[in-house]
Amino acid sequence: MTPFTKQVIEIIQIIPKSKVMTYGQIARLAGSPRAARQVVRVLHSMSKKYNLPWHRVVNAKGEIAIKDDESYHEQLMSLEYEGIEVGIHGKVDLSKYQWLP
């Protein structure tokens, strides 16, 4: 496991309830400003094994960036359940819900 991956995982686990983070933000916090994709990768394939609250991660625009419908809805529900208002495109108000460490 690379230190970066570890960082990403930890950061994600730290996101408080009713808050979200963006890919780029996480990548930066993990030390690699250009690794947004890596973050995606980690989220996509390691979320189950590490019990990550992946539903609290959205893209830079504050939207749910998932393709798979199942997962998309799963995230949508999770977010709303936590009290986050989600718009019609799965969009949330970043200025309100983005977590700033």
Chain positions contacting DNA, by CB under 7 A: 1-2, 4-5, 22-24, 27, 33-38, 40-47, 49, 54-55, 57, 59-61, 64-68, 71, 75
End-to-end CA distance of the chain: 24
Taking the least distance from each CB to DNA, the nearer of 17 and 37 is: 37
The nearest distance, CB 93 to DNA, in angstroms, is 15
Question: Nearest approach, Cβ of 39 to DNA (angstroms)?
Answer: 7
Whether 90 contacts 76, CB under 8 Å: yes
* Min separation Cβ 24 and DNA, Å: 4
Q: Which of 64, 60, 68 is nearest to 84 (CA)?
A: 64
Query: Which residue, 6 or 96, is less far from DNA as judged by CB?
Result: 6
Comparing CB distances to DNA, the nearer of 70 and 83 is 70
Answer whether 50's CB lies under 8 Å from 90's CB.
no
